[in-house]
Amino acid sequence: MERHIRDILVRPLVTEKSTRTMSEANAYTFQVPLDVTKVQVQQAVERLFKVHVVDVRTMRVRGKSRRMGRFVGKRPDWKKAIVKLAPGERIEIFEGV
């Protein structure tokens, strides 16, 4: 069963580092589900934003352990995808950030 585009790209990540890579390397960062592949991320970005993707890098981010008094909990693991676009192309939702 194929996933819907909106289920693949959970949310854009806007941090200082991702904003710097946006301007320097024309790369955008998204949070994606753990079981999504690079090809699925590339197809979702190309269909949703109508741009050409050159490269996709993914990394799995481990959740941190947190304590509340004597109880220990853990935040969930998540996956980050850095999508590099062809020269001269931009994603409009990130403009003005």
Kindly list the domain boundaries of the chain, sorted by start residue: 5-86
pLDDT tens digit sequence for 28-74: 999 999 999 999 999 999 999 999 999 999 999 999 999 999 999 99
Q: For position 97, what pLDDT does the model report?
A: 61
Q: pTM for the complete prediction?
A: 0.87
Looking at the DSSP assignment, which residues form a beta bridge with residue 11?
31
Please choose, from the candidates 4, 2, 23, 85, the residue with its C-alpha nearest in 3D space to the C-alpha of residue 49. 85
CB distance 28 to 82 below 8 Å: yes
Q: For position 53, what pLDDT does the model report?
A: 97
Look up residue 74 and give its two tokens. Answer: 């853990």
CB distance 70 to 40 below 8 Å: no
With cut-offs at 50, 70 and 90, classify the pLDDT of residue 2.
confident
Three-state DSSP at 39 gives helix
The CATH superfamily label for domain 5-86 reads RRM (RNA recognition motif) domain (3.30.70.330)
Residue, of 5 and 85, whose pLDDT is higher: 85
Instruction: Provide the mean pLDDT of the chain.
Output: 92
Type of residue at 38: K
